[in-house]
Amino acid sequence: MGLSYEFSVGSVRAKEKNMLNSSDIEQMLSYSNSADLARYLSDKGYGDGETVDEILKSHTNEVWKYLESIAPDFSIFNPFFIENDAHNFKVVLKGIMSGRKREELFLNPCTIDIDIMKNAVEHKKFTLLPDWISKSAEQAYEIITHKTDARESDAVIDKSAMEHMLELSKEFGSEFLSEYFNTVVFYNNIKIAIRSSKTKVDADFLNKALCDVNDFKKGRVISTVLKGSEYLLDELSKFSEYDCKTAIENYRLSPSSFEKFVDDKLIKSAVESCKRASEGPEPLVGYYLGFEAEKKVIHIIESGIRTETDKEIIRERLREIYG
């Protein structure tokens, strides 16, 4: 008999009790060196290893083994892996073009085998790749070989990834997943637009880079990007969709405040939707997002300790957690 969501949700609810909480974060903030932080995580049973990175890698592997063992349909997580696929293809393409191996840059989990990507690029057989990326992969190859424009090459791959994330998120009939990835793609567009407003780009590039998504005013954004950064920020501050106005207020404080705002918005939506759900895939997805949020918090604390950053500044940078 196959796994049921009733069983999976019960299992995840029990696991959530072991997630990091505010007391854990305060304890981690009290340490003055990375070794003490690693020891704390190890003593909690968070993972195996001598360093924070080793422990996080161990914990990540265990989380994925666990989710694979209890998810009735593991493909529910595929929308979250597409960005890794896009990243990996860009690594393969640039590595082959430059003649340098970049194996250490590959990200997991992913949905496309790295060897298939390598074969597709080396032999120019892009039909070996899934439909969602095959056409853009060939286009990216042509751009980087004939125009040597890595930025445009990256843009067409990233746009295909965003489009595919939106498509996949709709397949499971989950209102949360659909809204979550609409938000992700909306803010990916905003980040592309802001970066582009500080460099010389044309409308053709922006049309190749920006993805159509609900309530994103693509034409207005493109026209103001071409005028410059301040024009764009002024225009974006008028957008109420996805709390964009507040996001831009945070960006004016600092880019890191903007990133924090977006991360917190996404995890808060998971807490609100996934923790309240009593059936279906949302509790499993929420657990996954919670574990990703934990990793980000630990990385911020460890980085702050390593750079001897003031504790209050570290605290200001911390993201919301799921636990």
User: Residue 205, Cβ neighbours under 10 Å: how many?
Assistant: 20
Phi-psi region of 215 (alpha: psi -120 to 50; beta: other; left: phi over 0): left
Q: Indicate whether this model's pTM tops 0.85.
A: yes
- Contacts of range 159-162, beta carbons closer than 8 Å, 24 or more positions apart: 159/208, 159/209, 159/210, 159/211, 160/86, 160/132, 160/133, 160/135, 160/136, 161/82, 161/83, 161/85, 161/86, 161/133, 162/188, 162/189, 162/211, 162/213
- Return per-residue pLDDT of the chain as tens, 323 residues: 468 889 999 999 999 999 999 999 999 999 999 999 999 999 999 999 999 999 999 999 999 999 999 999 999 999 999 999 999 999 999 999 988 878 889 998 999 999 999 999 999 999 999 999 999 999 999 999 998 899 999 999 999 999 999 999 999 999 999 999 999 999 999 999 999 999 989 999 999 999 999 999 999 999 999 999 999 999 999 999 999 999 999 999 999 999 999 999 999 999 999 998 999 999 999 999 999 999 999 999 999 999 999 999 999 999 999 97
What pLDDT, on the 0 to 100 scale, is given for residue 93? Answer: 96
CATH of 1-73+281-323, one of 1.10.132, 3.90.380, 2.40.128, 1.10.10: 1.10.132
The domain locations on the chain are 1-73+281-323, 75-277
Who's near 80: CB < 8 A, 6+ residues apart? Answer: 288
Looking at the chain, how many residues does it have? 323
What pLDDT, on the 0 to 100 scale, is given for residue 154? Answer: 97
User: Residue 69, Cβ neighbours under 10 Å: how many?
Assistant: 11
Spatial separation of the C-alpha atoms in residues 140 and 58, rounded to whole Å: 35
